[in-house]
Amino acid sequence: MDKVNRPKTKEELQKEEREIREELKAILAQKEELEKRKENLVKEMSRLRKELAPILEIEEEIEREKKKIEKQEKTSGTPEERREVEEKRWKIEEQRHYTESQRWEVEEKIGNISREIGKNKIAYQKLLERKEVLEKKLKLVLAREEYLQVIARIKEIEEDLKQLGKRIEKLTREKRVFKKELEAMEKERKKIESSIKEIEQKEIRALPAERRKIETERWELERKRKEIIEKEWEITKPQSEKEKELKKLQAEYQKLVEEEEVLERRKNELELILGIKKAVPRQPKVVIKEEATPAPPPPPAPAPPPSPKKAASPPRKEKVQPPPSVQKERGFEEIIKRMEEIEKRNKLEEQKPKEQSTLPK
């Protein structure tokens, strides 16, 4: 692109802006000077008009006196009378001549002042026209400068959005993986909890000799359940931090998108001002929406210890209800307490056959 048609750089526009502002400053000084000169000329014109007023009054008086003399000329009969009248006329003509000379001088000054006022008015009008041209030019220069700033900022936002998009995409993928992993663990935990319920039902009907084996199986299931819950806790804590980071990034992303939309509108306005072909409207960016992360469910409430006196009932399948999301994790204190109660009960059961065998036959 040749030097004439290429867009001006930021530095060139700033230099042009400085030059225009300097010229506008000089025009302002000239404008004030012309306004002051106009004020002085108007004052001088007013003074001259006041000076001219008594001269015009004297002229009117001389004209009236001259008319009287002309009447006397017609009525004078003797040579002496005519001579006297003529001498009066000559005298009044001298006064008339002097007065008219004074008027000419003042009128000439008034004419000069009037011409100066006219010249001043023309110069003032040209100054205003030049000022208007420079202000329009300055507006275009400022619009070009702003246009460059807007374009530069849009590019910065594009890059920031690109980087934020990558980070959001990465965290979103990790979130999906976490969700699937948590769902799998929840499924496995529910399966174990269902098995524990079935074993506890078997404990009620089991003989003392069989109970140890059943209880050992239950211990193993409880151990596995505990491992799953601990694993849920282990992966949930860092994921919670990632959730906070994801929300923060999404808020930053949305803020940048909104800023870019404002800049795009301003860019289109500037293109209209500068006569640049309007760009095709940009499609609004889609912000990656947050997916709800299921909270790790707390373990179900422990079942009440089985009563040895109650008759055994046939086993039946029970629907395992998912625990409410609002229920808090009770930990392992109640489980350990329940285990101690069952162990104590089992010891009592084992002592009963020994007591019966010691009775006399």
Contact 25, 132 (CB under 8 A): no
Q: What pLDDT is recorded for position 349?
A: 56
Residues in the chain: 361
3-state secondary structure of 281: coil
CATH fold of 10-146: Helix Hairpins (1.10.287)
Contact 261, 284 (CB under 8 A): yes
Q: Radius of gyration of the chain from Cα atoms?
A: 56
Q: What pLDDT is recorded for position 305?
A: 45
3-state secondary structure of 77: coil
For residue 302, the Cα-to-chain-centroid distance in whole angstroms is: 55
Q: What pLDDT is recorded for position 107?
A: 92
| 113 CB burial (10 A radius; 0-12, 13-18, 19+) | buried
Contact 248, 171 (CB under 8 A): no
For the chain, the domains span 10-146
Which of 193, 39, 52 lies closest to 109 in space, CA to CA? 52
Q: What pLDDT is recorded for position 324?
A: 41
Contact 293, 235 (CB under 8 A): no
Inter-residue long-range contacts of 58-64, CB under 8 Å, 24+ positions, other chains counted: 58/95, 58/99, 59/96, 59/99, 59/100, 59/103, 62/92, 62/95, 62/96, 62/99, 63/96
Task: Give the C-alpha separation, 339 to 349, whole Å.
Answer: 15
pLDDT tens digits for the chain (361 residues)?
A: 445 456 788 899 889 999 999 999 999 999 999 999 999 999 999 999 999 999 999 989 988 888 888 888 777 777 888 888 888 888 888 988 999 999 999 999 999 999 999 999 999 999 999 999 999 999 999 999 999 999 999 999 999 999 999 999 988 888 888 888 888 888 888 988 888 888 888 888 877 778 888 888 888 888 888 888 888 887 777 778 888 888 999 999 999 999 999 999 999 999 888 888 654 555 555 544 544 444 444 544 444 444 444 434 444 444 444 444 334 334 334 433 444 554 565 566 556 544 444 333 3
* Max CA pair span of the chain: 205
Task: Give the C-alpha separation, 246 to 317, whole Å.
Answer: 43
The DSSP-derived string for 282-350 is PPPPPPPPPPPPPPPPPPPPPPPPPPSSSPP--------PPPPTTPPP--SHHHHHHHHHHHHHHHHHH
Task: Give the C-alpha separation, 242 to 221, whole Å.
Answer: 32
Contact 17, 142 (CB under 8 A): yes
Q: List CB contacts of 320: < 8 A, sequence separation 6 or more.
A: 190, 193, 194, 197
For residue 129, the Cα-to-chain-centroid distance in whole angstroms is: 38
Q: List CB contacts of 103: < 8 A, sequence separation 6 or more.
A: 52, 55, 56, 59
Q: What pLDDT is recorded for position 180?
A: 87
Q: What pLDDT is recorded for position 196?
A: 85
> Position of tokens 């929300």?
247
Contact 285, 257 (CB under 8 A): yes
